[in-house]
Structure formats: structure tokens, C-alpha cells
Amino acid sequence: MACIAVTGANGFVGRAVCKSLLGKGYKVRALLRRADVAPEFNDVVGLDVRVVGEINGTTDWAGHLTDVQGVIHLAARVHVMNDQSDDPLSAFRAVNVDGTARLARAARAAGVDRFVFMSSIKVNGEATIDSAFDESSPAAPEDPYGKSKAEAEGILWEIAGETGLEVVILRPPLVYGPNVGANFAALIKLVGRGIPLPFGAIGNHRSLVHVDNLADACVTAVGHGAAANKTFLVSDGVDHSIGQMVRLLGEGMGKKPILVPVPEGVLTLLGRLTGKTAQISRLTGSLQIDSRAIRRTLNWQPPVDAFDGLRRTGAWFAAKNS
């Protein structure tokens, strides 16, 4: 069976990708930035763990890509709220653009045929109004993270044209599931506390993707012939309002959340007054993606149901805190 190298293998998505690959019979080479996280994989049968150091434009990939047929590149400098870097765009470019280009060229030089790149829907923008994003939507990134991912995509297409490397780009929206962190973890904690939440009047629509669905899409993309040199938007296929998310998470916890009908304008004003405009926008605004292309082209279907995925995430949180 083919050997697939996975960068960022110890991350939230990376662990799910490695598990999915191993479950489908692939050999997996887990490429990690730090040795201190390598012990997490000591008991994972079939995993070849390598420590490559920091990923940037000077990373030495020598030997790490030998006998590898495909790469799934997940490692990145991730988006964070209130970035404290003096020059955030340069910091993102060093890892997400220069590091990606270095890896892609090294992969092709080592004989790798397929390169799956985890991009982001932030390449297309932060919100949708009249229609969902699809593969034909123009790039319109607004923050340094989104801009760096868009630039990385552009460089990968150049490398593909120059070398014949088969590139597949995946753009997911917010990824959730057991062990999720960041902003979604904060929402789960609010639901778990059982306090009234001011989302009863919010009728927004947000696309999400369960971590196991995204992992399955990665595995499909690395092995399906029709995926070569294409971009796919990936989601669960169902768009939720913030209220529906809260209710489904609550069901998984065995709770019935109290949703207070506070007008969106009031929440927006509160966000401005408290300096949390971006956080409120992510809760109340819409961001929809049309992921039918990957289903049609690769005959892909998400293995985790969109409603059950949220319930399972709530159940995981309840079990962890019982």
C-alpha cells in the first residue's frame, strides 16, 4: 500500500487524518515539528514518526520523503484572534507560503506524485450574504492568515505547472468535533454552563465540517485520480444557525439550552463597545459554502452526519467534564 506523509500529524485534524489513513490500509509517515510531541504516537501501530523541526523556507526535508507517494500538508501557522506579532503577514508567510513551497518542491524531487494542501475558506472571505462560496468564487482574503493561504495556493499551482506535481487544494470552513479548541471550544463551554444565551433571534447560516469528515476528504483527495489539480470546498453539507448549533450541542450533553431572542443589532453594538466585533460577527453572521463539487467529482460523502456530529461533540464535552 502507498505511503502518505502527513505534516502537522499531531494536530486536531492531523490525528484524525492519520487514523483515517491507517484505517484504510495506508502506511503513514507522521512529520512533526517538535520531538516532545512524538511520544503521543508511540502506541500507534503502523505510524512512522519523524521530527523535521520548524517548517519554513529553509526546512531540511532530506530523507523524510523517501518512498512516499503522497503528502497531506496540514501544518501551518494558524489564525488566532488578537495576533501579537509585530508583522503578522510576514510571520504567516514564513510558514504557510515559504514553508509550503519548500515542502512541495522537495516532495516532487523525492518522487512524490500527489500533494494535498489544507487551505481555508478564508481565502474566499469572512462572510456570505446572497450566495454561498463555491470553487468559482474569487479570492478575497481579509486577514494575514487568509492572505497567506491564498498566496500558498498560487505558488503551488506554479510548482504544479513547472514540475508535474499533482496538487489538490481543500478549503474547509470551521472544523469541529471532539477535542476541538479555539473559539468553538468557548461556545461549547458556554452551552455546558447552562446559562441563557442571546441567540434566539439569530437566523444566520454557517457551514461547518466535522473533523472526521475533513479527514476522510483528505484521504479521498490523496488517492482519487480525478482529484488531481483541483480545488474543493469541503463541508458537512448542512448549514446551521447559531441557535441550532447550540441546541444540538446541548442535546449531546443532555441539556436543553435557553436561547434568549436578542436582536442581532444589539449584539453587534455590544461587540463594538467591548472590542469583540470579530467574535460576535463569527457567531451571528453567515458563511456558507457549496461543497457539491467534491461529492460529484470524487463521489465523496461525509461519513459523519451533520446533526450527529454536533451531538457527538456535545457528548464528548459532557463526558470529559463529568
**Is the predicted pLDDT of residue 146 greater than 90, yes or no?**
yes
For residue 38, the number of C-alpha atoms closer than 13 Å in the C-beta half-sphere is: 13
Would you list the domain boundaries of the chain?
3-177+209-236+288-304
Identify the CATH number of the domain defined by range 3-177+209-236+288-304: 3.40.50.720
Catalytic residue from among 115, 145, 184, 232: 145
Confidence of residue 80 (pLDDT cuts 50, 70, 90): low
CA atoms of 196 and 201, how far apart (whole Å)? 13
What is the pTM (predicted TM-score) of this model? 0.94
User: What is the model's pLDDT at position 153?
Assistant: 98
How confident is the model over 260-271, as pLDDT tens digits?
A: 998 888 888 887
How confident is the model over 193-226, as pLDDT tens digits?
A: 989 999 999 999 999 999 999 999 999 999 999 9
How confident is the model over 117-127, as pLDDT tens digits?
A: 999 999 999 99
Mean pLDDT across 167-187: 93
The residues near 85 (Cβ < 8 Å, ≥ 6 apart) are 91
Residue 287: closest CA among 208, 186, 202, 176: 208
User: What is the model's pLDDT at position 38?
Assistant: 62
CA atoms of 263 and 238, how far apart (whole Å)? 24
CA dihedral sign of residues 307, 310, 136, 156: negative
**Is the predicted pLDDT of residue 59 greater than 70, yes or no?**
yes
The residues near 90 (Cβ < 8 Å, ≥ 6 apart) are none
Confidence of residue 182 (pLDDT cuts 50, 70, 90): confident
Residue 26 annotated in active site: no
Instruction: Lowest mean pLDDT of 70-79, 100-109, 258-267, 292-301, name the range.
Output: 258-267
DSSP string of 249-260?
HHHHHT----B-
Instruction: Please give the mean pLDDT across all residues of the chain.
Output: 92
* Residue 105: exposure state from Cβ atoms within 10 A (0-12, 13-18, ≥19): middle
Q: Is 223 helix (H, G, I), strand (E, B) or coil?
A: helix
